[in-house]
Amino acid sequence: MFFGTSCTESERLTTSAVKVGNNLGKTTLKLSDIMRPTSIVVLDEPTNHSLRSISKIIYAENNNIIILDVGSDFRTAYLYDPQGSFVGVIGDTNKAEPHDIGLMDVSVFRDEVTLLGAGKRSFFNYRNNGLDSDPLTFATASIGDKLERDAFGNYILYNEHSGTNVSGNNYLVVYDNAGNLIKRMYPYNSSRENLSYEYTGFLLKSGKSLWFSPPFDNTIYEVTASKLSPIMHFDFEQANVPIELIDKKISGSETLDYGFIGEWFVKHGSLIQLEYFYKGRIHHGFFDESSGLFYNTNSFQVDALSKLYQRCTIMPRDESAFVMVLRSEQIGSLYKDGLIDQENLNAMLPGLGDELMEAGTQNKPVLVTFQYHNGAGLR
């Protein structure tokens, strides 16, 4: 059953604005005052494969780790054990290898691992951590760029300017757990078709919720299968990207004078981290819903963690933790530039500094799990 579309671009103005600009001020806090590392995993190189990038991480059953690599010749979803040892390629046991389906994304619901096969316009559901050979397949007639499964098993498809007769010109398309289309949300102007962006716009899971922000936007929405709810709106000091410019298929060079949300976001309690662009630079933002304060990395006092934050990407893990991702080139750069504070990192988590130094010499990607201190907040 199809319930129609909901939420237009004008609705992003219904939530209060968070001021973001060049003059964010300083805080007496260090990053280590609000968060602590709890574990580290150094990833082995996949056998007969090359892990070129890490665009998504999922901690699945028994803490097995699923990694989506979009930097290879063909997008690939890898499975690692909790210690970082390579186990296999998800979907590789099927006659159609992952690249044959036009793999775009991977998601998990209970014991199912779902591959978004944009080339086949289908969802491929695997059990056994994605290593079984007989996936349950649902044809969607939609293409899609990103996919998340909600708590009920519904499929939430993020469609970035790749509309079909079924998806239409809508950023979000919802299917129930049997693969039936039930809703389309957030329509966009058809003039934006056939142009996608790697550095802005997202659909992701953080905590118990799904979150969405369209390309070059300044609003973040909480997503359910039935509606979108704007929860925060960022005011980039009169530098918000005009909708008219987006409709003209904006290019990277045209964004230099503007501000907009990037491609990742994590939320735990009242504390939020996100990537954003402002006046030609990428920033890492911190926002506390309780105090209303917004900072970026440069607002904090320098410590061992703020040095790591100069090169990392942050991704969600679960309801209480997030992951600092240090890709091969990032950990190598930290090592080369002397930014791994070995002694102080070891004091935060025994062996953390030692393992980062060793990974830096070998350019091995690293995942560091963090949790916030009890009662942590910005001041």
What secondary structure, in 3-state letters, does 209-265 show? EEEEECCCCCEEEEECCCCEEEEEEEECCCCECCHHHHHCCCCHHHHCCCEEEEEEE
> Could you tell me which residue, 7 or 85, shows the higher pLDDT?
85
Alpha carbon 370 to chain centroid, angstroms: 16
The residue ranges of DSSP E strands in 52-111, in sequence order, are 56-59, 65-69, 76-80, 86-89, 103-109
| Number of domains making up the chain | 1
Based on its alpha-carbon atoms, the radius of gyration of the chain, rounded to whole angstroms, reads: 20
What letter does residue 129 receive in the DSSP assignment? G
Which residues form the domain of 210? 9-372
- Judged against a pLDDT cut of 60, whether residue 3 lies above it is answered with no
Q: In sequence order, which residues have a C-beta less than 8 Å from that of residue 357 and are 6 or more positions away?
A: 335, 340, 342
Q: Is the pLDDT of residue 262 over 70?
A: yes
Q: Is residue 4, in this structure, part of any structural domain at all?
A: no
What integer pLDDT is reported at residue 97 of this predicted model? 56
**Residue range 32-51: mean pLDDT, rounded:** 89
Q: pLDDT by residue (tens digit) across 128-153? A: 777 777 789 999 999 999 999 999 99
Could you give the CA distance from residue 155 to residue 125 in angstroms, rounded to a whole number?
A: 11
Question: Which tokens is 69 given?
Answer: 């690599």
Query: Is the residue at 3 inside a domain?
Result: no
Question: 89 lies in a domain?
Answer: yes
Whole-number pLDDT of residue 123: 94
pLDDT value for 250: 75
Query: What integer best gives the mean pLDDT of the chain?
Result: 88
CB 137, CB 125: distance < 8 Å: yes
Exposed, middle or buried: residue 23 (CB in 10 Å: 0-12, 13-18, 19+)? exposed
Summarize the confidence of residues 206-233 as an average pLDDT. Answer: 94
Q: Would 100 be classed as within a structural domain? A: yes
The reported pLDDT for the residue numbered 53 is: 86
> What is the Cα–Cα distance from 190 to 194, expressed in whole angstroms?
9
Whether this prediction's pTM lies above 0.85 is answered by yes
Rounded (5°) CA angle 105-356-325: 20
CATH number of the domain residue 31 falls in: 2.120.10.30
Of 369, 368, 362, 342, residue with least CA distance to 44:
362
Q: What percent of the chain has pLDDT over 90?
A: 66
Q: Which of 173, 171, 140, 143 is nearest to 156 (CA)?
A: 173
Q: What is the pLDDT of residue 198?
A: 77
**Residue 232: pLDDT above 70?**
yes
pLDDT classification of 23: cutoffs 50, 70, 90: low
pLDDT tens digits, one per residue of 42-73: 999 776 777 888 999 999 878 899 999 987 66
Query: Which segments of the chain does DSSP mark as H helices, in order?
Result: 243-247, 304-308, 328-336, 342-348, 352-362
